[in-house]
Amino acid sequence: MSSLRTSSPRFSNRSSFVARVATALALVGCLSTAASAEIARVPPATPVPVPVQFAQPPHQMPHRVIDDMDVAPPVDTATLRQAVREALIKARGLNLASFRAYQKAGVFPSNTYKDGKLNVWRDQDGHFCAAATIIRKSGDVELVDRVADQNNFIRLADVTQGPLMDWILTSGFTQEEIAAIQEPFMPVREQPQPSEPTVVDAKLRAVENARLIARYKVVDRMLVKNEKKSLELAVDRLMKHPDLAWKIASAE
C-alpha cells in the first residue's frame, strides 16, 4: 500500500511537462487576444499595387493620335485673329507679286473652244490663266493641274468648298478679287473648216492681249486701293473656319 502513495519519477516528469505545455498555450492565447485587439484598432492599409511586368503594359482605352495641325487648340480669339491677319498680309503680298509677274510676261491662254467670253484654266498650248498661275506659284501645282484635267472651264466665283476654296480663303484676296483676276477670254481662233484643226488668229490674239493687259492694270489698281478693307473681309471669312485659320497662323 505504501508504494501507491509514493510518486514515481516518470509520473512526476510527465506532470511537469503537461503543466509547462498548458502554461505556454495559455500565454500564446493571451498574446493572440492582445494582438487581435491591437489589429482591430489599426485602420486597414492601402493595398499596394502589383508591379507591372516587363513587356506587359497596363490595359488602356485605345486612342487616336491627333496631328497638331488637324484640330485648332484652344487659343484667345484676338490672338488668333492677329496671327491670321499677319499671315494673310504676307500671302496677299506674294500673290500680288505673282499676278504682276504674269502681267509682265504677257502670255495668256487662247480661247479656241467657243464663241464669246470663256474662262480657260489651261489652253491647248499649256498656258494658264492668271488665277491658275498665281496658285501654281504659291506651291499648289498638283491642285492646278488636277483642276485643268477635271474642270478646265471652272469659274472661281462659283467655288464654295474644297481645296480651291481653302486656297482662296488663305490667299489674302477675297473671292471677288480672285474672280476679277480670273478674267475670261475672248475667242481668238480662225473660223476653221469642219475638217481643219483649230488655229489661233494672230490679229485676234494681239487684240486680246492688249485688252487683257489693260484689264489687268485696272484689277491691279483695285487690289491696291481696296487692300485694307479686303484684308479685313478675308480675315472675317477665314476666322469662320477655325482649323484652317489655325493652320495658316501656326505656319508663320
At 118, is the secondary structure helix, strand, or coil? strand
Q: What is the pTM of this model?
A: 0.69
The pLDDT, as a whole number, for residue 198 is: 79
The pLDDT, as a whole number, for residue 76 is: 82
Give, for all 252 residues of the chain, the pLDDT tens digit. 443 344 444 444 444 544 554 554 455 454 455 444 454 454 554 444 444 333 333 333 333 333 444 555 556 889 999 999 999 999 999 999 999 999 999 999 999 998 899 999 999 999 999 999 999 999 999 999 999 999 999 999 999 999 999 999 999 999 999 999 999 999 998 775 555 677 899 999 999 999 999 999 999 999 999 999 999 999 999 999 999 999 998 886
Please, what's the largest Cα pairwise distance for the chain? 162
The pLDDT, as a whole number, for residue 94 is: 98
Contacts of residue 246, Cβ cutoff 8 Å, sequence gap at least 6:
69, 72, 73, 75, 80
Distance CA(75)–CA(187), nearest Å, equals: 51
Q: Render the burial of 45-72: b for 16+ CB within 10 Å, e for the rest.
A: eeeeeeeeeeeeeeeeeeeeeeeeeeeb
